[in-house]
Structure 1
Amino acid sequence: MGYYVNVEPGVKVYVEDVNPGGNKTILFIHGWPLSHKQFEYQFDVLPALGYRCIGLDWRGFGKSDKPIDGYHYDRLADDIKAVISALQLHNITIAGHSTGGAIAIRYMARHHGYGVSKLVLIDAAAPTGFTAVTAKKLLTDTYNDRPQMIQGVTDTFFFQYISSRFSDWFFQMGLEAAGWSTAAIIVTLRDENLQPDLDKIHVPTLIIHGIHDQVIPFAQAQELNNRIKYSQLVPFEYSGHGPFWEERNKFNHLLAQFIG
């Protein structure tokens, strides 16, 4: 089931809602520059186990509206709050990947974890995101040859082999975003720091991170584990930045076990 939720006047975000009658709810927050579709291999499995799986596309990405502004963590966290409130969600698990993990952290701090009982951070771009050098290159590439930039992201994303067809699918997902939103998130990842937010997370937190991640170093997962109370870190030994696909069976089992 797919529908739109108004998050502010004139801006709607797309929501994919699978198994609305499920016993427990997982809200998936995708990474940059992708969409909820990146979690296809969770949506294939977890609803059949009784979970309600909700995936949303951030503003500017996937099927959501693409306004010219609002691409900072506070506004993106407010969009999450609008969706949770509109759907009247309670006692849910938020699972955020990469920049989605950073948005989830800001949501937990800014909105006091409203409606959330557990948190899953997947190769989270936190407490920092891109270095100034990395951001400069990505911005230059985005403004001059965005398809090539996205192909470069795809090429460094995975540790395990992906087929050319899978690479094409992943690449096309990135192209669904607007150019301006793609660039704006690079600036956010460069400029924002989530250090002050970490002490405000007070729910059980599962940290999943591929040890071969070339996008967000594994050391950052260790830092999150040290800073977030009630957190546990599970290294994924055969994954880069995409354990939700590279070790999807382990990932899905671990997620279900953590949620209960």
Structure 2
Amino acid sequence: MGHYVDVEKNVQLFVEDLGEGQPVVFIHGWPVNHKMFEYQMNELPEKGYRFIGIDLRGYGKSDKPWGSYDYNTKADDVKKVIDALGLDDVILGGFSMGGPIAIRYMARHNSHKVSKLVLMAPAAPVFTQRDDYPHGLEKSGVDDIISNLQSDRPAMLEEFGKMFFAGEVSDAYAHHFHSLGMEASSYGTIHSAVSLRDEDVRGDLSSINVPTLSLHGRKDEICPFDFSLELEKSISDFTLVPFENSGHGLFFEEKEKFNQELLSFFNK
């Protein structure tokens, strides 16, 4: 079942809402949408959980305004969805760019209605290198991505897709995954890349006061495994599960382990 939720004047977000039970809210990564979690939405409702997948502004079936692709606005959008659906005892999950958005939500909204946090290959605490942070891309690398998006977005996303998985995926799946990125607006994709380049959630980590799970592929070339090691230093109740055979796309590459680790954490 799909809902549209008003988050500001003339901006509605699409939300996939399946099953009954404790709600699990999924925030997708750049530049796709909630359909990346297909293999979780197939299973979680069967296990007694309510799957809720949000298409962020600019992505999927949601409205695509010109501006406001910063983490604060996206975190506020998530709160408006949680409140509009009347959710409580939420398990909040963020993949890649969704990771720092989930972290920002926890800090900015004081863990509102959230009882557990799941980070999946998070683009956090910082996606790009700083003087005091040696991990991730240099900022100039994201500038190159933005330039390539402006010149040939389909080709850039195809190259990005090749970096996503450590092993081979079928041509059919690669085409499907590429199509999810093409559903997004070009400008939302670019503006979100600017947020990934410039934002920093290190100051938010101390406010996370719920059990937190991070699932991360050791072969991740987009959000290095070191990101989760950095998070582990600053989040008090933190469990890190490495995926030895996965890159960034661990939700598909090791989907059975991925789903089992989610369910084990949910059931604790």
TM beyond 0.5: yes
Tell me the residue number matched to 2:101: 103
Regions of 4+ moved over 2 Å: none
Query: Which residues of structure 2 form unaligned runs of 5+?
Result: 129-137
Matches for 1:142-181 after TM superposition, within 5 Å: 142-181=149-188
Q: How much has 1:243 moved relative to structure 2?
A: 1.1
1:190 is aligned to 2:197? yes
Deviation for aligned residue 1:45: 1.0
Q: 1: distance between equivalents of 2:157 and 2:13?
A: 22
CA shift digits 1:186-245 (9 cap, x unpaired): 110111111100111000000110000000111111010111110111101011001111
Query: For 1:227-238, what aligned pairs fall within 5 Å after superposition?
Result: 227-238=234-245
Residue 207 of structure 2 aligns to a residue whose secondary structure is coil
SS of match in other structure, 2:98: helix
The answer to which of 224-233 and 125-134 deviates more is 125-134
RMSD (Å) for aligned C-alpha atoms:
0.7
Q: Deviations over 1:40-70 (max 9, x none)?
A: 0001111111110000100000000000011
TM-score, normalising length: structure 2: 0.95
> Deviation of residue 114 (structure 1)?
0.2
Distance 1:191 1:95 in 2: 22
> Which amino acid counterpart does residue 40 of structure 1 have in structure 2?
E
Q: 2:116 aligns with which of 103, 118, 137?
A: 118
CA deviation vs aligned residue, 1:120-165 (integer Å, no higher than 9, x gap): 0001001111431211110000100000110011000001210000
Instruction: Percent identity, please.
Output: 47
SS at match of 1:13: strand
Report how far residue 258 of structure 1 moved.
0.3
Trace 1:121-136 onto structure 2 (pairs within 5 A): 121-130=119-128, 131-136=138-143
Structure 1 stretch 183-192 or stretch 125-134: which is displaced more?
125-134
Matched, 1:63 2:58: no
Aligned counterparts of 2:79 and 2:125: Cα–Cα separation in 1: 21
Amino acid at match of 1:151: E
After TM superposition, the structure 1 = structure 2 runs for residues 79-90 of structure 1, keeping only pairs within 5 Å, are 79-90=77-88
* Aligned equivalent of 1:16: 16
Alignment partners' CA distance in 1, 2:255 and 2:167: 12
- In structure 1, the gaps of 5 or more residues are none
Pairs aligned (count): 258
